Structure 1
């Protein structure tokens, strides 16, 4: 059983050692009982630490271990290609635009959109006739940005105003589903879970997200500065380092959305978009204080310019969920002077 792609296509990709065969990821078991997972790990896959048994969810196993992205059985079959860079900015923007246009051709049936008002989710929303959802505490950056973005795009918006009761209720579900209790992972997963939960309650079973753009197109400050948080000395090298973190991040995001009863849809992680992103050099990724340069230029074909150029906070901060999670931990007696006080708080809710 393989999820995410036609098994015949996966078999051709294995035979040709083609890491980007034209899918949005896949994982599962082949007919010869060997496991397979795509190069970016877009579909979670787990095995028992003992080697006996596998599952798409860690909760189905006693001691789950992530199956390595890019692997077939015990062999690493795929690695990301290192193609030549685009010769001009014009060519780069045209190719990124074309890739986005193709990747956004999605059946909107049963789809809701996680919309934060930033360029990534706005590009996804631009070609999907589907409702927009945002979550955040009142006064949060994400609520304000989503309102402005939806207004600029002429789209209605469903606002999910978060409360402490929502956080306390959702934390155990998210932590169990993802197998993670640290503050950053829980904060990000909570945002996705709460949006997906509301969308499912409203009758939708798929959640479109803007995941992947920051990693693929140079959206991080550490990439722009190539600072101590990356080993690479170039922007392109730092971007590839960040892309390598996607399997771990996507595992968390997919499991959080599925825990709410929805299936994620991530058009910006389509192989066609990935191929175009891998051909960008430093200045087209991040330079002169601007991040995601080529992506933002391409985004002007899809969204108003003010949205294409808007900077946005990470979801756990923009929604104020990270702040309020910390506040709840301290109110429960887990003070900041304690090591990993939020993690301890999350673990206490699981008991």
Structure 2
């Protein structure tokens, strides 16, 4: 896991150095730059898998952010002896080309490959790993928008590479096309819960790391992850006395994992001091986004303090299995369309925020529910099994019932921004700082962003 950046044109190496400095929090373990034919690419490294430094070069060059979970099988097929997923990806591209390589990958990634004056950018099909680019002052790309701002790019000039897409830049021309996605199949109405449990179990096993942490709220999604990864430490943060504090303690007790729980009861002063850092990390002053990001910011900060580099999250389960209240009133046909749309937008709505706030603390976030096989299976499950008799995430609850106590399986959980008590606490902080009336919180956060 790391941060990547690159630029084409005059002073490209200087631009890349400036961008890497801005995103150094994503990779405190090292950095590197490679230049060729007026193009420079670079990397800041958070060492998790293998010892290979980046960028990797041999005629072409690669800089890569992510995790490829089947790289050992691919390396074996290539007769390649390595402990590095980045080296495996490089050899795949050299062997069969980018699109062929992407077709074989099982993982979450964003990478750039340069050869013969051409830059190719690629992003995983769910958009778990972020990638942005700009054509304002030449061509440049980076893992975070703020890196592009530092070389003079304006907000209007920065674009997001779409999930599952490849962008090619050569001689001033850009071509973008879709190279990966999630194929549909026959709709499942039988055996779905067994297949789903097995798929999630495999996904968690792939993403387990020693040592591993879990962003734990005590709800269904994170409780299932905890039950499948019982050696992980559970990190939770909320305002003192909030619903989440009691829920996480009770859930950990029911799972017999109380000794693994690290609970952070936030004070108003702690919250107020962290808000500017979160706004800076997620590059947004939207009250809802900030309130959702704050518990994860503290959880990942605490995990980093305790020596963890990998954290699992339940992100994606609501979009795949109909967890939001707004889904309840939909007919099955409407629900299927709405879920697919929300999956298509999950990177922009949620994943980029979560990646930014955890990587601000040099912690890699892994999302087992957005595993390729889990997504493809979820898309095949009939909508009637996702909301059944008014029960949201019905099929996921049935699957989780294999290892979770009933109290956790069937309990409804409030939205994180409210159950953590953070949204209302931020409103109080805004009032304390003299902000009153309509959109007071938004105006307060906006002022903080301008001061940054």
- SS of corresponding position for 2:139: coil
Q: Greater CA deviation, 4-13 or 158-167? A: 4-13
Alpha carbons 1:205, 1:261 under 8 Å: kept: yes
Distance apart, 1:12 and its partner CA: 7.5
Distance apart, 1:95 and its partner CA: 0.9
Map 1:227-306 onto structure 2 (within 5 A). 234-248=334-348, 249-306=350-407
Alpha carbons 2:282, 2:356 under 8 Å: kept: yes
Alpha carbons 2:197, 2:399 under 8 Å: kept: yes
Distance apart, 1:347 and its partner CA: 2.5
- Pair 1:2-2:89 in alignment: no
Choose from 341, 346, 349 the match for 2:440.
Answer: 341
Distance 2:222 2:441 in 1: 28
Distance apart, 1:96 and its partner CA: 0.3
More strand by share: 2
Larger Rg: 2
Q: Which has the higher contact order (CA 8 A, sep 6+)?
A: 1
Distance 1:319 1:87 in 2: 36
- Pair 1:60-2:160 in alignment: no
- SS of corresponding position for 2:295: helix
Q: Determine the structure 2 residue equivalent to 1:29.
A: 112
- SS of corresponding position for 1:286: coil
Distance 2:124 2:437 in 1: 40
Distance apart, 1:16 and its partner CA: 8.5
Q: Determine the structure 2 residue equivalent to 1:42.
A: 128
Q: Greater CA deviation, 121-130 or 327-336? A: 327-336
Q: Which runs of 5+ in 1 are unaligned?
A: none
Alpha carbons 1:236, 1:285 under 8 Å: kept: no
1:272–1:309 CA distance, 2 compared to 1 (3 A): same
Alpha carbons 2:113, 2:120 under 8 Å: kept: yes
Distance apart, 1:24 and its partner CA: 3.5
Distance apart, 1:139 and its partner CA: 1.8
Q: Determine the structure 1 residue equivalent to 2:183.
A: 81
Q: CA RMSD in A?
A: 2.1
Q: Determine the structure 2 residue equivalent to 1:93.
A: 193
Distance 1:160 1:277 in 2: 33
Distance apart, 1:17 and its partner CA: 7.8
Q: Determine the structure 2 residue equivalent to 1:15.
A: 100
Alpha carbons 1:330, 1:336 under 8 Å: kept: no
Normalised by the size of structure 2, how large is the TM-score? 0.71
CA deviations on 1:69-114 (whole Å, 9 max, x unpaired) are 12101113334433221142xx111110110110111433132111
Distance 1:152 1:323 in 2: 29
Distance 1:314 1:81 in 2: 31
- SS of corresponding position for 1:184: helix
Normalised by the size of structure 1, how large is the TM-score? 0.91
- SS of corresponding position for 2:108: coil
Q: Determine the structure 2 residue equivalent to 1:115.
A: 216
1:144–1:136 CA distance, 2 compared to 1 (3 A): same
1:203–1:16 CA distance, 2 compared to 1 (3 A): closer
Alpha carbons 2:189, 2:381 under 8 Å: kept: no
- Pair 1:216-2:320 in alignment: yes
- SS of corresponding position for 2:236: strand
Q: Determine the structure 1 residue equivalent to 2:250.
A: 148
- Pair 1:328-2:422 in alignment: no
Q: Determine the structure 2 residue equivalent to 1:316.
A: 417
CA deviations on 1:237-271 (whole Å, 9 max, x unpaired) are 12112212211110001101111221112112111
- Pair 1:135-2:237 in alignment: yes
Distance 1:233 1:84 in 2: 15
Choose from 202, 206, 212 the match for 1:102.
Answer: 202
- SS of corresponding position for 1:30: strand
Distance apart, 1:30 and its partner CA: 2.5
Q: Determine the structure 1 residue equivalent to 2:22.
A: none
